[in-house]
Structures are given as structure tokens and as C-alpha cells.
Chains A and B, each alone.
Chain A
Amino acid sequence: MDAVIDDPNIVPDAKAPVPGAIDLRAEFSSSGLAEVFDQLDRELVGLVPVKQRLREIGALLLVDSARKRFGLEAVSPTLHMSFTGNPGTGKTTVALRMAEILHRLGYVRKGHLVTVTRDDLVGQYIGHTAPKTKEILKKAMGGVLFIDEAYYLYRPENERDYGQEAIEILLQVMENQRDDLVVILAGYADRMERFFTANPGFRSRVAHHVDFPDYSAGELDAIGGRILETMNYRMDAGAQEAFRRYIDLRMLQPHFANGRSIRNALDRARLRQANRLFNAERPVTADDLVTLTAEDVLASRVFSGGIDSYPPLHPSN
């Protein structure tokens, strides 16, 4: 027979002896959480308040599971979260880690992350929204549902918008099946604020509001270094100097998107480097291929007072 058969009379844990004391430190390292947090510290630059918040949530869940072992029945905590912050501050990256942390703590059973936006939840015609939303919710059960740019769900200017229907289904599942999935809403701070004001049900069901601060120039420089490292590039001394000046200038300009701007700037520097090597008309060495020079960075429009993006933005922007 292709099935698991378990004896309903055997209830696991029922006969486990009540321990005298639980070493939370040992629990922390044996659950693999220490490793996840270390990795978080190593791989994510800055974001101190965010990391602090994740540690708090981790501690709460650890204490809860310890309480359970003493037979103190704890109500499973609400873990729905909202991540607010400017573009490029690492919301999606942290959400992915969050899924892993919750999985290690045994709070979600599978630990997968389903990333959706308004398009995946809201249908195009009457009666289309509910099945679509339910389909996504089913897929996310046992894991984490990450709704990017969640404020788009609510469109006050169109009263017949189907977004409201998706919101109602979401709220119902968030309330009734807290054990089955964790919902993370993400978006820019000001718009999320408006979204929560218009949907008080959401505000009360989302327990953790985590704000992602902008990066400082030093952190952005470090992020650039990590990105280059993963792409097998490096900067020579001149390029590093130029890149620091680039960051200082770019931060003051409009449409600055933190980590994402840095990634784009580096992509463009690689483009210029490739072009430079191609036009040099001499054989290239491995060293040439991995080195970005000052010239590659300094060619950016940022240094001539423009905005380094394509297509070029109108100066009045």
C-alpha cells in the first residue's frame, strides 16, 4: 500500500519527560539559527535595525518553543510582517532569509518563499479574483507569501477595483490560518502608510513593522565590493577612489535606489571596461579582464552633472 499509516494511539511528545531547565544558548546553536544569523551578518551590509528585529523575532520563537516543552501552552504568535523602505534597501533579500529563519525555527513547515505582486492576486473580470488569490495562497501555504508593492492592491480612485476582494480573502486567511503561512507585505514607506490607513484590518493583523533604512556611503561602497566579488571583478586603487566619489555624488541625485543603483553603476562600468579592452587592439591578460580602472568609472555622466541612467532623464527631473 502506498501510504503512511500511523497509529492514532501513539501521540509523539506526549510521554517526553518535562526537562528541568532548558539551555536557550544551546537551543539557539542546535536549531541552526546561529548559523543563519551569522550568514545574515556576513552577507548583508548595514541594516542594523532590521537584523536586530530579526533576532528579536528569533528569540521570541525560541522562547515559545521552550515554553511549549514545559507544557505552558503559548498562543502561536502572529508573524505577518510589513517591510517598508526606499527602493534597493534589501527588502526582498531579507524576506528570503526570513523564510529560512522561520523554517529553522519550525514555525513554517516548508520554508519556501512565494513572491507575488498585484497582478498575481487580482483578476481582470468579476469572479476572477477569488480563485486567483486562493490559488496563490494555497501555493504559499507552509511557507512565506511575499507581496511586493502591496499598496497597489488598494486603488482608492477606482471603487469597482477588484483589489478589495483580494484584500478580503487575504485578511481572512491571515487570521484563520496563522499556523499555515506567514504574509510579508513590502513597499515604500509613505505609500504603505496610506495603504494601512485605508485598510485598518491589515494594520492590526500585521504584528511586525520593519523599516529598512537607507545605506550610508560607506555601506554602499562595501555593497559594491561584494557585488564585484561575486562577479569576479576588482577595482584598482584609482577606480576605488573614483567609485567613492561617484557614490557621494549619486546619493544626492534624484532617483537614487540604494543597492540597485550601485549594481547598475557597476554594470555600466563593466560595459565601459569591455569597450575599452576591445578598442585597445592588444592582447588582453586575465588581469586586464578582471580589473576596472578609474577611467571606467569616471566616464559616468554623474561626474559631468548628469544622472547616470539610460535613457537620460530630463534635467528638470
Chain B
Amino acid sequence: MRLTQGAFSFLPDLTDEQIGKQVQYCIDNGWAVNIEFTDDPHPRNTYWELWGQPMFDVRDAAGVMFELNECRKTYKGRHYIRVSAFDSTHTWESLRLSFITDRPEEEPGFALERQEVDGRSIRYTTRAYAANRPEGARY
């Protein structure tokens, strides 16, 4: 099941050229671009691992693409990788854009668990199949 988190996730995967253009758009707006990765695809897993540091002083998308390629060398195929852009201006101080750039080949998807509680009530929860295996060995 294809993971749909962040922007563009219902579109086909972006090419490097398209990623570069999105990144340049973020930089031109003065946002700091981050590269993040994880192998826990649960939607509530908000904080992914940060690759390197947020790139506050990079002026051109080529610098970000350089780091993205470094990150791919280590994690491509085994982890999700996403690019996020942080707007530090007052009253925003939050992410303005985030999109997945790389995903594992096989995405097993999520299980829906029903928990029967308090008589006829049911609580629902989702669990990623990938999370059954230990961290680092999921994909």
C-alpha cells in the first residue's frame, strides 16, 4: 500500500529535477530545508530522523540535492526519505512544506485492529506491518 503523507503523495514519485525545483521554491521563500528519514511509516510518527542539520544557509537547490543523494546512498530502498521546509518567520515557526522523495520498494501497509472495550464499544488502531520487525530490518 502506497504511503500517502505530505504533499504530492497522490502523484507519481517526483523526479530529481522536480524535487530540485520544489526545493528551490522553498529556499527562495527563505525556508530552511531539512532531509529526514524513517522506517516507521505510522502517520502519528511525526518526528523522523534528521539527516545532517537543517540547511539554513544554502542558497541553491544543488546543495540540498547533494545531501539528498548522500542520504540515499545510505538509506535508499530501506527507509522513507522526505524533504521538509521550515519557515522561521514570527507567527509561522513551523513546517510549510513536506513531501516524500524516496520510499522502500515494498510497502506492506497497515493493519486495522479492533479492540472490544466496555460492552459493545470498539476502539480502532492502525499498526504498520513493517513495524513487526525490529528497527533497521523492516524493509
A residues with a Cβ closer than 8 A to B are 1-4, 6, 8, 109-110, 112, 131, 134, 137-139, 141-143, 177, 179-181
Contacts and interface: CB of A to CB of B under 8 A. Distances in A.
19 contacts: A1-B7, A2-B7, A2-B96, A2-B97, A3-B7, A4-B21, A4-B25, A6-B21, A8-B18, A109-B62, A110-B60, A134-B66, A137-B63, A138-B55, A138-B63, A141-B62, A141-B66, A142-B61, A180-B60
Given A3-B97, A8-B15, A139 B63 contact: yes
Interface in B70-113: 96-97, 99
Contacts of A180: 60, 62, 66
A181 B62 contact: yes
Contacts of A110: 59-60
Interface string B18-33: 1001100100000000
Contacts of B64: 138
B16 interface: no
B58 interface: yes
Given A137-B66, A180-B62, 11 more contacts: A2-B7, A3-B97, A4-B22, A4-B25, A6-B18, A134-B66, A137-B63, A141-B59, A143-B59, A177-B62, A181-B62
A264 to B, nearest CB: 33
A138 B66 contact: yes
Contact of B63 (A3, A142, A179): A142
B40 interface: no
Contacts of A112: 59
Interface residues of B, number: 22
Given A3-B7, A3-B25, A137-B66, A142 B59 contact: yes
Contacts, number: 56
B57 interface: yes
* Interface of B, helix, strand, loop or mixed by DSSP: mixed
Contacts of A139: 57-59, 63
B18 to A, nearest CB: 7
Given A2-B96, A8-B18, A138 B7 contact: no
Nearest to B85: A2
A131 B67 CA distance: 11
Contact of A3 (B22, B59, B60, B67): B22
A109 B25 contact: no
A138 B58 contact: yes
Contacts of B62: 109, 141-142, 177, 179-181
Interface string B44-60: 00000000100101111
B7 A142 contact: no
